[in-house]
Amino acid sequence: MQSLIVLGRQPALALAELESLYGATKVRPIGNQAALLDIDPCLVAFGRLGGAVKFCKVLTILKTTEWREIERFLIKSSPEHTTRMPAGKMQLGLSVQGLDVNVRTLGATGLSLKKAIRKLERSVRLVPNKELELNSAQVIHNHLTGPTGWELVFVRDGAETILAQTVRVQDITSYTVRDRERPKRDARVGMLPPKLAQIIVNLATGPLPDDKMSSICDIPADQIIPQPHLGQTLLDPFCGTGVLLQEAALMGYNVYGSDLEARMVDYTAQNLAWLETTYRLEPIQPKLEKGDATAHHWTAPVDFVAAETYLGRPFTTQPPAEILAATASDCNLIIKRFLQNVYGQIPAGTRLCLAIPAWQIRTNQFKHLPLVDQISEMGYNRVSFEHATDDSLLYYRPDQIVARELIILTKR
Ligand SMILES: C[S@@+](CC[C@H](N)C(=O)[O-])C[C@H]1O[C@@H](n2cnc3c(N)ncnc32)[C@H](O)[C@@H]1O
């Protein structure tokens, strides 16, 4: 049973995340912005996927990429399916990836389909396309995943077209609440978006255990969180205001955080208490300590390590070369010393995902930390992905100088 996942703004990160949780053989990238996932759809933990935008059920594969032929198929075969829907006005939306069609033609197809559905005495509203794809907000506001909703997604796959129906979209309201409404935020330590935090956690945990998969996913579609307790502990040794720990707690992990600054540890405690109340979680009972990651002693157990490490100064314009070199050297030293310190405290095989800084010195050209090339010497193996190259695991906006580079490691 295949599902189609529509990927977010940084598809390489989304592909690595899927591969990390479900394995490379279960994931097949389709074009630039989608992937097929070859597992039981009930087992897809969509709510914890930070890189995925839509979760769709594959309806059929069409042996054509010609829009006229696709349209003909649609108008001939889909209206009858609407007769099986509950009564009430139907909402219809269309989204397209990789096919040779423009917004106007897509709109005209929608109107023809609407007409064909109306012939069956069914009232229907077409959501107008401003772009070739409807965004999550449009899908949510127009109830396209509800009982009388229908978003049809067409994605070109070589000489064929996948036709799928959206069953869930990312919960943008909850992401906004988690990002903006927590009591303690600090622009100085940066604002890690919850979606990126989810990706980092998923890259740190690696494959979900088979026996936990069904309990993770056995939740109603409209209740994305909280997840059942997973019994494993995730450590963030640079926890700051606690965004990573928040997301890990929502996924059902025990959370353990430390930070150099006592104020940050306190912020994390307050944010986790707020999360517990807001999402009516079981008591989170986080373990939180003030500690320098380059020397701190954490108490076992630690099953995974995930962190957005020290990123250095937040540059808004291109810094002089010597300032950049000094910042990079500081960051490199702290993160390297942390990796040396934690090495003796975690069992062999423990997986880590770190967001470390890289600097965009020219458009899409980055200065990386030297430690990226010294991972093996430090006693770690780098985890690479089949569907995303190591150097594509960078999170940044085009105008940003400081990017976050994700490195995934296991202790040898
Ligand atoms: C980029 S911020 C992490 C922000 C965090 N992800 C959040 O949700 O707010 C880096 C954090 O590392 C902490 N830090 C810097 N050097 C450290 C060290 N040597 N040991 C532990 N924490 C350190 C800073 O106090 C800061 O809170």
Six token digits for residue 250: 């929502």
Q: Is the pTM of this model over 0.75?
A: yes
Same domain, 146 and 222: no
- Closest CA relative to residue 80, chosen from 121, 25, 110, 111: 121
For residue 224, the model assigns a pLDDT of: 47
Same domain, 13 and 61: yes
Same domain, 162 and 262: no
**Model pLDDT for residues 48-76, shown as the tens digit of each residue:** 999 999 999 999 999 999 999 999 999 99
d(CA 85, CA 78): 12
Among 138, 169, 200, residue at a domain's last position:
169
Among 114, 138, 169, residue at a domain's last position:
169
Same domain, 203 and 164: no
Percent of the chain with pLDDT over 90: 86
Contacts of 98 (CB under 8 A, 6+ apart): 31, 32, 155, 156
29: which strand partners? 35
**Model pLDDT for residues 26-37, shown as the tens digit of each residue:** 999 999 999 999
The finding on whether 196 has its CB within 6 A of some atom of ligand 1 is no
d(CA 43, CA 23): 13
Task: Select the more confidently predicted residue: 204 or 208.
Answer: 204
d(CA 356, CA 274): 28
Please report whether residue 174 resides in a domain: no
Statement: residue 287 has pLDDT above 90: yes
CB half-sphere exposure, 42, CA atoms < 13 A: 6
Give the containing element (helix H, strand E) for 256. strand 254-259
Mean pLDDT of the chain: 93
To test the pocket of ligand 1, the residue of 264, 333, 342 to mutate (highest count of ligand atoms within 8 Å of its CB) is 264
Please report whether residue 178 resides in a domain: no
SS3 320: coil
CB half-sphere exposure, 73, CA atoms < 13 A: 17
Relative orientation angle of helices 103-118 and 67-77, to the nearest 10 degrees: 20
- Closest CA relative to residue 152, chosen from 125, 136, 170, 133: 133
Indicate which atom in ligand 1 lies nearest the CA of residue 242. 8
Contacts of 21 (CB under 8 A, 6+ apart): 45, 49, 202, 205, 206, 207, 208
**Model pLDDT for residues 328-371, shown as the tens digit of each residue:** 999 999 999 999 999 999 999 999 999 999 999 999 999 999 99
For residue 45, the model assigns a pLDDT of: 86
**Model pLDDT for residues 112-140, shown as the tens digit of each residue:** 999 999 999 999 999 999 999 999 999 99
Please report whether residue 27 resides in a domain: yes
Indicate which atom in ligand 1 lies nearest the CA of residue 311. 1
d(CA 11, CA 121): 41
Same domain, 217 and 152: no
Please report whether residue 176 resides in a domain: no
Same domain, 218 and 141: no
Six token digits for residue 310: 């020290």
State the CATH number of the domain containing residue 141. 3.30.2130
The finding on whether 192 has its CB within 6 A of some atom of ligand 1 is yes
211: exposed, middle or buried (Cβ count in 10 Å: 0-12, 13-18, 19+): exposed
Query: Is residue 304 a contact partner of residue 205, using CB atoms and an 8 Å limit?
Result: yes
**Model pLDDT for residues 223-249, shown as the tens digit of each residue:** 444 556 678 999 999 999 999 999 999
What separation in angstroms does the CA of 223 have from each of 8, 51, 112, 216, 286? 21, 19, 35, 12, 23
The finding on whether 341 has its CB within 6 A of some atom of ligand 1 is no
Among protein residues, the one with the nearest Cα to ligand 1's atom 16 is 310
Same domain, 327 and 231: yes
Rg (CA), the chain: 23
State the CATH number of the domain containing residue 384. 3.40.50.150
d(CA 175, CA 181): 10
Query: Is residue 335 a contact partner of residue 369, using CB atoms and an 8 Å limit?
Result: yes
Same domain, 81 and 228: no
The finding on whether 400 has its CB within 6 A of some atom of ligand 1 is no
CB half-sphere exposure, 162, CA atoms < 13 A: 26
Relative orientation angle of helices 194-205 and 11-22, to the nearest 10 degrees: 40
Same domain, 242 and 329: yes
**Model pLDDT for residues 299-321, shown as the tens digit of each residue:** 999 999 999 999 999 999 999 99
Domain carrying residue 38: 3-44+51-169
For residue 102, the model assigns a pLDDT of: 98
Six token digits for residue 180: 């903006």
Total count of domains within the chain: 2
Angle at the Cα of 246 from the Cα atoms of 242 and 247, rounded to 5 degrees: 125
For residue 218, the model assigns a pLDDT of: 47
DSSP state of 364: T
Q: How many Å lie between the centroid of ligand 1 and the Cα of residue 260?
A: 7
Same domain, 213 and 270: yes
Please report whether residue 177 resides in a domain: no
Please report whether residue 234 resides in a domain: yes
Q: How many Å lie between the centroid of ligand 1 and the Cα of residue 278?
A: 25
Same domain, 134 and 22: yes
187: exposed, middle or buried (Cβ count in 10 Å: 0-12, 13-18, 19+): exposed
For residue 230, the model assigns a pLDDT of: 76
Among 169, 194, 215, residue at a domain's last position:
169
The finding on whether 243 has its CB within 6 A of some atom of ligand 1 is yes
Is residue 219 very low, low, confident or very high in pLDDT (cuts 50, 70, 90)? very low
Indicate which atom in ligand 1 lies nearest the CA of residue 189. 2
Same domain, 9 and 123: yes
